[in-house]
Amino acid sequence: MKKIIFIDIDGTLCNSKGEITEETIQAIKRTQKLGDIIVLSTGRRLNRVIPFMEKCGIYSYVLALNGAQIYDYVNNTFLLEEDIGFSTSHKIYDLVKKYSLYGNFHTALLRYTTKPTYPEDILLTDDNFSELKSKRISQIVVSGNNLESFFTIKEDLNKMKEIRIVNESRDIFYKNLDYKKDDSFIDISTVFTSKGKSIEYLLAYLHMDAKDAIAIGDGVNDLSMFEVVGTKVAMGNADSFLKEQADCITLSNDENGVAYYLNNLVK
């Protein structure tokens, strides 16, 4: 029976250097040749996912921004685009300024941000915030380095019933600075958004059964995938709570865990 395999990127598909190894690429290509569908499911925005797809020869679908978007690569169209809305986005923008954090507002293909990082980023200010009125804001990422500010802003965000926190850096999640690597972050989407909900949407669209769906992940935002698929695979480097929910645990991302699982799946 044909399978559909949802694979997270950071900490899963990529090793700790952010690279996809040749062994993993070949395992993905071999799996697809046998008729299975590979779908990348990630917190990244679309234009930061396409290069990984093309490198691996994946020309199917993408669940981007933690499931807020479903993109059909072949037909170059979005099957789903959640929208936080301008009014709610403005409230979050005001909170970001209040707590001296950074805000990243993701639309279909653009990122309006108070801290530009990439060439395609658009600097977001009080003067141009109104440009977002005509756009669908699928996800907002709050980033920064002040952990106490994140604990406070989370209290305010949790009072807003129309949104939910779909992902957060491990230092915030565990309330422990020992987990801190780079900037701390919180990913915010509509209350209807999660990787799991988008998997359900795509399965219905493709007329596929959950029992034929596999999810491979490592972190906080992958738990919702585990709730809706037939087979749950945790990476060797995954959080302990995810491993507890898994049907099997593969090798770590630095040991080509995705390739190891896929190669054993097709035997």
- Token pair 């998997």: residue: 199
**Residue 245: how many CA atoms within 13 Å on its side-chain side?**
20
Residues of the chain with pLDDT below 50 are none
The pLDDT assigned to 267 comes to 53
Tokens of 186: 């919180």
Domains 4-81+193-265 and 86-190 share a fold: no
Question: pLDDT tens-digit profile of 52-104?
Answer: 999 999 999 999 999 999 999 999 999 999 999 999 999 999 999 999 999 99
Nearest Cα residue to 64 out of 47, 48, 41, 84: 41
Dihedral angle at the C-alpha atoms of 119, 120, 122, 123, nearest 10 degrees?
-20
- Which stretches of the chain are assigned E, i.e. beta strand? 4-7, 37-41, 61-64, 69-72, 77-81, 102-106, 111-113, 122-123, 139-144, 163-168, 184-190, 213-217, 231-234, 248-249
Q: Does domain 86-190 have CATH number 3.20.20.100?
A: no
Which residues, listed in sequence order, are joined to residue 215 by a DSSP beta bridge?
A: 6, 232
Query: What are the structural domain ranges in the chain?
Result: 4-81+193-265, 86-190
pLDDT of residue 176: 76
Which pLDDT score, from 0 to 100, does residue 180 have?
65
pTM of the model: 0.93
CATH code, residues 4-81+193-265: 3.40.50.1000
| Apex 194 CA angle, 77 and 151, nearest 5 | 130
